[in-house]
């Protein structure tokens, strides 16, 4: 074997050995230096890579030994890099912890608030539950029968007009309920009298959205069915509600009205007085505020729902929640109720 090959072999051995020494001695002080180390020994153009190829220059008897040495250099660099990296991470965490001020005051937790619609709805539920009404909850996507037909609303009634009702696409017999009166039909077809429920919930009407009206809003429905329920019971119940909700000895008045599902029907006004500019505005100068629709359940409705109208009578009422909440909390625009603007919602934080 010519001498120069031996020389070449030894030179390669020396290079690898000196790199091994360098790796063993390496003490990178920070992340940047560690990165330099990684690039030099483990990067895609690392210094060890070409040395693997140089094995063809090594004399045959020492090829195996050479290969092992370069591999050792690589393994060593990998192990050291991982160890150093783990150490640095630990040190970093320690340093971060050392800088922690454990006496610093904590971040205050943001307190949520109840929506004005929920506040009013819950207050009304509380008032009616005190005289024995329980809560009935039912679907918002309703079939035509429960929303209209059962409620004595004939096919050609204007309330069925496409203008007011949202129909479900491809399912013309399904609607977004236009009132919580649909729950009356749900309850009457599934429970036997005596029935005494309130049904709070969201309803939908295809109306132009403005400061005064929206295509979605909430109602609370009341229904009482038993033997011998009279119009006097309805009046007493409403008078009780108004005293509890509006306070004091407020007067109510019932004006004759029309709903397909009640007979007789009435609208109830509450006397707000004319003590302020606001009273004039909300009562249109009369002092009386319209609050709800009500009436005696039409015998045809009882019949539709399988309740004997010869034996049972009942009353029902429906109250709009948004309008009540707007008056109570001086909210000028109904759209605020559905925008979830935290600047609006936070104003109800202190009310439970």
Binding site for ligand PHE (CB under 6 A): 179, 181, 221, 259, 262, 293-295, 316-318
> DSSP label at 212?
S
Q: C-beta of 306: minimal distance to ligand PHE in Å? A: 19
Tokens of 22: 């360098």
Give 148 or 259: the residue with its C-beta nearer to ligand PHE.
259
Give 66 or 224: the residue with its C-beta nearer to ligand PHE.
224
Q: C-beta of 267: minimal distance to ligand PHE in Å? A: 8
The distance of Cα 289 from the centroid of its chain, to the nearest Å, equals: 33
Residue 112: closest CA among 277, 330, 350, 290 = 350
CB distance 45 to 81 below 8 Å: no
Tell me which residue has its CB nearest to ligand PHE: 318
Q: C-beta of 204: minimal distance to ligand PHE in Å? A: 11
Tokens of 178: 């236009």
In angstroms, the CA 148 to CA 144 distance is 6
In angstroms, the CA 268 to CA 293 distance is 6
Q: C-beta of 329: minimal distance to ligand PHE in Å? A: 22
Taking the alpha carbons of 325, 328, 334, 338 in that order, is the dihedral positive or negative? negative
Give 185 or 326: the residue with its C-beta nearer to ligand PHE.
185
Q: C-beta of 238: minimal distance to ligand PHE in Å? A: 11
Give 74 or 205: the residue with its C-beta nearer to ligand PHE.
205
Give 193 or 295: the residue with its C-beta nearer to ligand PHE.
295
Residue 252: closest CA among 280, 295, 289, 293 = 289
């Amino acid at each position: 074997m010519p001498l120069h090959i031996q020389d070449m072999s030894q030179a390669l051995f020396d290079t690898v050995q000196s790199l091994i020494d360098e790796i063993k001695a390496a003490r990178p002080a920070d992340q940047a230096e560690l990165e330099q180390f990684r690039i030099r020994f483990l990067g895609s153009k690392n210094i060890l890579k070409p040395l693997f190829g140089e094995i063809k220059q090594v004399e045959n008897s020492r090829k195996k030994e050479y290969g092992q040495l370069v591999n050792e250099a690589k393994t060593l660099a990998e192990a050291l890099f991982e160890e150093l990296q783990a150490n640095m991470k630990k040190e970093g965490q320690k340093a971060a912890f050392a800088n922690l001020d454990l006496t610093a005051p904590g971040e205050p937790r943001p307190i949520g608030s109840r929506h004005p619609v929920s506040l009013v709805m819950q207050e009304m539920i509380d008032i009616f539950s005190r005289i024995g009404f329980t809560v009935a909850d039912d679907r918002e996507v309703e079939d035509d029968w429960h929303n209209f037909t059962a409620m004595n609303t004939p096919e050609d009634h204007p309330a069925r007009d496409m203008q007011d009702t949202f129909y479900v696409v491809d399912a013309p017999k399904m609607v977004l309920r236009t009132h919580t009166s649909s729950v009356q039909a749900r309850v009457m077809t599934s429970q036997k009298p005596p029935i005494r429920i309130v049904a709070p919930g969201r309803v939908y009407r295809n109306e132009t959205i403005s400061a005064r009206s929206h295509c979605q809003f909430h109602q609370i429905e009341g229904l009482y069915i038993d033997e011998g329920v009279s119009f006097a019971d309805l009046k007493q119940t409403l008078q009780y509600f108004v005293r509890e909700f509006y306070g004091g000895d407020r007067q109510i008045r019932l004006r004759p009205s029309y709903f397909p599902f009640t007979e007789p029907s009435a609208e109830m006004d509450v006397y707000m007085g004319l003590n302020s500019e606001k009273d004039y505005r909300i009562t249109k100068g009369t002092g009386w505020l319209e609050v709800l629709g009500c009436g005696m359940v039409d015998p045809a409705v009882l019949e539709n729902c399988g309740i004997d109208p010869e034996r049972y009578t009942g009353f029902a009422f429906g109250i709009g929640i948004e309008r009540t909440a707007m008056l109570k909390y001086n909210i000028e625009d109904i759209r605020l109720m559905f925008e979830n603007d935290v600047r609006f919602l936070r104003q109800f934080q202190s009310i439970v």
